């Protein structure tokens, strides 16, 4: 998946899936997939950021973009909790600026 997206910084990413009891688990990419996924196909895997690092450590724009998409998804889905309203407003403003440009 990452090579298809042109991302060489693969250590930051992983594939997640929902187990039979609803818990979200990481797929171990060293083991056969069929041993890890229970239930019946089709399976839904999500490419997610597994390890967050400081932005200046990211070398590729495509890696930064995937980090951005991950944070945006978590914010929209409610998985990213931001108790400080001013920080939330700033984060949403930065996302809007990234999506639509400066106005």
pLDDT digits (tens, 9 = 90+) for 46-92: 999 999 999 899 999 999 999 999 999 999 998 888 888 899 899 89
pTM metric for this prediction: 0.81
Question: What end-to-end distance do the CA atoms of the chain give, in Å?
Answer: 35
CB 17 within 8 A of CB 44: yes
Average pLDDT of the segment spanning 14-33: 87
In CATH terms, is domain 2-100 a member of 3.10.20?
yes
How far apart, in whole angstroms, are the C-alpha atoms of residue 69 and residue 49? Answer: 9
- The three-state secondary structure class of 15 is strand
Structure tokens at 55: 């932005």
How far apart, in whole angstroms, are the C-alpha atoms of residue 41 and residue 79? Answer: 26
How far apart, in whole angstroms, are the C-alpha atoms of residue 62 and residue 101? Answer: 18
């Amino acid at each position: 998946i990452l090579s298809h997206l042109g991302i060489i910084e693969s250590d930051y990413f992983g594939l997640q899936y929902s187990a039979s009891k609803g818990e979200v688990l990481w797929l171990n990419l060293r083991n056969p997939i069929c041993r890890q996924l229970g239930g019946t196909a089709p399976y839904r895997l999500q490419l997610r950021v597994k390890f967050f690092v400081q932005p200046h450590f990211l070398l590729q724009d495509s890696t930064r973009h995937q980090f951005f998409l991950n944070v945006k998804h978590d914010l929209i889905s409610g998985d990213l909790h931001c108790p400080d309203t001013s920080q939330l407003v700033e984060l949403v403003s930065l996302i809007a600026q990234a999506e639509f440009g400066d106005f």
